[in-house]
Amino acid sequence: MKRSKDINHKIISELLKDAKVSDRELGKKLGVSQPTISRRRTNLEKELIDGYTIVPKWDKLGYEILAVNFVKIKSAVATKEKYQASRERGLKWLMSQPNIIMTAASRGMGMDAFNISIHKSYSNYDEWFSDFRLTWGDMVDDIQSVLVNLRGKEVIKPLHFKYLSEAE
């Protein structure tokens, strides 16, 4: 069982580096047959891999700002009576926002949730932020954002999942 988990971990690690790698190449690299890799990859895709995607060079696609937005929910919304309706409304709105690439409940800094969004310009971000506040003003006490200039010289380690392949 341990060897099986080790191979699965190695396959995931290699796919994090390069999801386009063929099963044949991966098998050669790991010393395992191509059919074994294909079977394992199929199982991993069912159990652990949520999908394959690219990580673009955001600035080359015209995106200028990555925003990390922290949200404090009004305590009146966090009641048993209001929670489910609020959650359904929130999910519907969040799923309609293609520029939000992640959102979740969170703890710390007095905030209850966060999202990460990508914007083509400050004007685009400002318009989105204003809509966010108007849409959620009845449910939100505070919104704090941290803006990252994706075209700046201070992007030291760009967003990418390949770094995880080196984690143990």
> Domains in the chain, please, with CATH?
2-47 (1.10.10), 58-149 (3.30.70.920)
Helix then strand count (H, E) for the chain reads 5, 4
Backbone angles phi, psi at 53, to 5 degrees: -150, 170
Determine which of 15-24, 78-87, 104-113, 135-144 has the lowest per-residue pLDDT on average.
Answer: 78-87
Instruction: Tell whether the model's pLDDT for residue 165 goes beyond 90.
Output: no
17: left (phi over 0), alpha (psi -120 to 50) or beta: alpha
pLDDT digits (tens, 9 = 90+) for 59-118: 899 999 999 999 999 888 777 777 888 888 888 999 999 999 999 999 999 999 999 999
Residue-wise pLDDT tens digits, 148-158? 999 988 888 98
3-state SS assignment for residue 7 = helix
User: Looking at residue 78, what DSSP letter applies?
Assistant: G
* CA 1 centroid distance within chain: 31
The string of DSSP codes covering 20-57 is T--HHHHHHHHT--HHHHHHHHHHHHHHT---------
Mean pLDDT of 132-147: 92
Q: Report how far residue 158's alpha carbon sits from residue 150's, in angstroms, rounded to the nearest whole number.
A: 9
Q: What is the mean pLDDT of the chain?
A: 90
- Strand order of the sheet with strand 113-119? 100-105, 113-119, 65-73, 140-149
For residue 127, name the pLDDT band (cuts at 50, 70, 90).
very high
Nearest Cα residue to 27 out of 44, 10, 43: 10
| pTM listed for this prediction | 0.82
Q: pLDDT digits over 31-61, tens only?
A: 999 999 999 999 999 999 999 988 898 889 9
What is the token pair recorded at 113?
């949730």
Residue 1 has pLDDT above 60, yes or no: no
